[in-house]
Amino acid sequence: RAKEIKTKLGTLLQKPDSTIDFIIPYPEKQEKPPKAQKPSPEEALQWRDSLEKLLQNPYGLTSFRSFLRSEFSEENAEFWVACEDYKKTKSPAKMAEKAKKIYEEFIQTEAPKEVNIDHFTKAVTMKNLVEPSPTSFDMAQKRIFALMEKDSLPRFVRSEFYHELIK
């Protein structure tokens, strides 16, 4: 294990231009996407241009989350998924309960999986949570979606995770 990391570090030091895509392997076992719904290469190719299509496909979402986990940034996808689930909640009591959980897990300062949103978005979200509604997290969710689309999706499309899917 140490030898493997040493070899990769040696490679990294020789090629400074590849540092952006270099990741020391995460020792935790990778989550395997469910076998049954593996997309066709054509379907997976559509994800390059549509984060929405990627997130709506269970296999794509699992692959994307595994990739984000390898980059230590999976909280964005987890937050997006939590918001989608929250919006489907019908019972006001359940909605309030889920809103509190999402706030504590992703929004509040020093939250265990705090997402990177600006102060204005955080303030609007907190104001919306006074009376939770299906749209309480919309602004924050849109910001995180835009961040993943602009930042994470292009890196995912260049990754080994993605290249395995389009073979």
Separation between Cα atoms, residue 83 and residue 105, nearest integer Å:
12
Give the per-residue pLDDT at 5: 52
Identify which of 95, 82, 105, 86 has the alpha carbon closest to the alpha carbon of residue 131. 95
Handedness of CA 73, 79, 85, 88 (dihedral sign): negative
DSSP state of 25: P
- Please identify which residue in the block is written with the tokens 């909605």: 95
Q: What is the pLDDT of residues 96-122, one digit of tens each?
A: 999 999 999 999 999 999 999 999 999
Which pair of structure tokens corresponds to residue 70?
């390898």
pLDDT of 83 above 80: yes
Give the per-residue pLDDT at 2: 55
Give the per-residue pLDDT at 52: 93
pLDDT of 21 above 80: no
What domains can you pick out in the chain, each with its CATH number?
A: 41-164 (1.10.167.10)
